[in-house]
Structures are given as structure tokens and as C-alpha cells.
Amino acid sequence: MNRQYYFGNFEIGNRLNFLKMNLNIKSAKKIGLFFIAFQFILFNANAQFKTYKISPNGDTLNAIDNNGLKQGKWVVHVDPLRGEPGYEAEGIFVDGKKEGHWRKYTLMGDLIAYENYKNGDKDGKSEYFTNLGDLIRVENWRGYNPDQPYDTIPIYGTGSNEILSYKIVKAQPYSVKDGEWDYYEPGTGKIIKTENYDRGYLLDQPKPANLVSDDPMKKIVPKEVLEYQEKNKHKKHIKVIDGSTSE
């Protein structure tokens, strides 16, 4: 009886050791695969870029290619200077030019701007906020399209918004104000000023008194701010690994 008991313990112990060994082998395989994947990422980065950074989740950041052009995901850090507050901005570079959606933060991590770029210049809607998340300005921009080197612009009458004629001109290689610009009172969401632009031309505006109302308004919190606050309410700044290669 005692022999059978001890034999049972011996067999159970062997089984436990076998399970532990299997778990160790599986863990070693996972570690090995992770190491191989990480080395593969580093190898690709070394082959394509002069300098770069690797984030903890394996993303390649702040890469400069062999032609000296910024590529891919970037986090741009700007220190305070001459009374101007510093900030961080994150977005995508394509061949050295900003492209698509960009977000700008205070150095404390508060979202203060949501901008759109095309070919390195602002294009479409941009929104700006206070450190508390209050919307203060909405801008609309028209970016330069290299596929359309010429543009047809309206010629307005003096002191009026009447279009007298149209003129074909060479398109300027930069962004121009285009569409409605709204300015908001922080904390209340009231529109305190509106401007309308047509490809850089400021159209005549109604008097400010027609725009401002004493009626209470619901505070405007843009969708981007709500999404950012929900996603990052427990988020902390993370460090990245610097990487560089010889030229």
C-alpha cells in the first residue's frame, strides 16, 4: 500500500515535470520568435533608413531614409522658445512631407490641435483647442495640387462679394484659406466670429453683433477630443529605442 502511494507520487511528479518542461519549451519558442521578429524589424530598418527609433511595440518611428527624407510615423518634439510654449506633434511623413491626419499636444500630453495635410501643406479642416479641451477655432484650407498647376479664380468687385469675372492663374505651391473659419468662446461654445474665404480672398462679413447671442449654448466638444480623452485617460508617455546606421 505504501509502495503504491509512493509510486503514485513519483508518477505525479514526473507528469508535473513533463508539463513544466513543455511550458518552458513553449515559452522559449515564443521568446525566440519574438527575438527573430525584432531582429527582422531592425534588419529592415537598417536596410532602408539612415536613422530611426523603435517603439516598445515594435513600430519604426522618426525614420530618415537614405535620401535624407522623413518617412512613416513621426513624433516631433519642440521645446519652449522665447515665450512660445513647446509641443509634440504626431503623424505621417511621405518623402519628407506631412500627409494626412496630424495631432498636436502640449508637453503635458493635452490634445490642442487636429490638422490635415496634403503634400506637406494644410488641406481641409483643422481644429484647435485649449488645454482643457475647449474648441476655440475651426479652419478650412485648400492645399496645393501638383497635378493641377493652374487654377481658375474669381475676380470680385470692390467692396462686394459679387464675382465680376474669372481668371486662370498659375497655382501657388502652398495652402490658402478656403471656406469658413469659426472662432469660439472657450467654455461656452459660442461662435464669436466667422470668416469666409474663397481661395485666400476674404469675403465681406456680417457685423459681429449678428453672430453673437446671449442665449446659452451647449458646450461643443469635437468627436476627436472625446475619442482622445477616452483612449488616453490612463495613458502615460512611453520611451522609444534610438537606432541609427552608418551612411
- Please state, in angstroms and rounded to a whole number, the distance separating the CA atoms of residues 211 and 193: 7
How far is C-alpha 156 from the geometric centre of its chain's CA atoms?
A: 37
**Does residue 116 contact residue 105 with C-beta atoms inside 8 Å?**
no
- Comparing CA positions, the residue from 120, 115, 137, 119 lying closest to residue 128 is 137
- Please state, in angstroms and rounded to a whole number, the distance separating the CA atoms of residues 54 and 52: 7
- Comparing CA positions, the residue from 56, 30, 26, 27 lying closest to residue 41 is 56
**pTM metric for this prediction:** 0.63
Set of cell numbers at residue 10: 513519483
Output the tens digit of pLDDT for each of the chain's 247 residues: 444 433 344 454 555 555 555 556 555 555 555 555 545 455 555 568 899 999 888 889 999 999 999 999 999 999 999 999 999 999 999 999 999 999 999 999 999 999 999 999 999 999 999 999 999 999 999 987 777 777 676 777 776 677 777 777 666 667 899 999 999 999 999 999 999 999 888 987 655 544 444 555 555 666 677 777 777 766 655 455 565 554 4
Residue ranges covered by each domain of the chain: 44-244
Residue with cell 525614420: 63
| Partners of 91 in beta bridges | 74
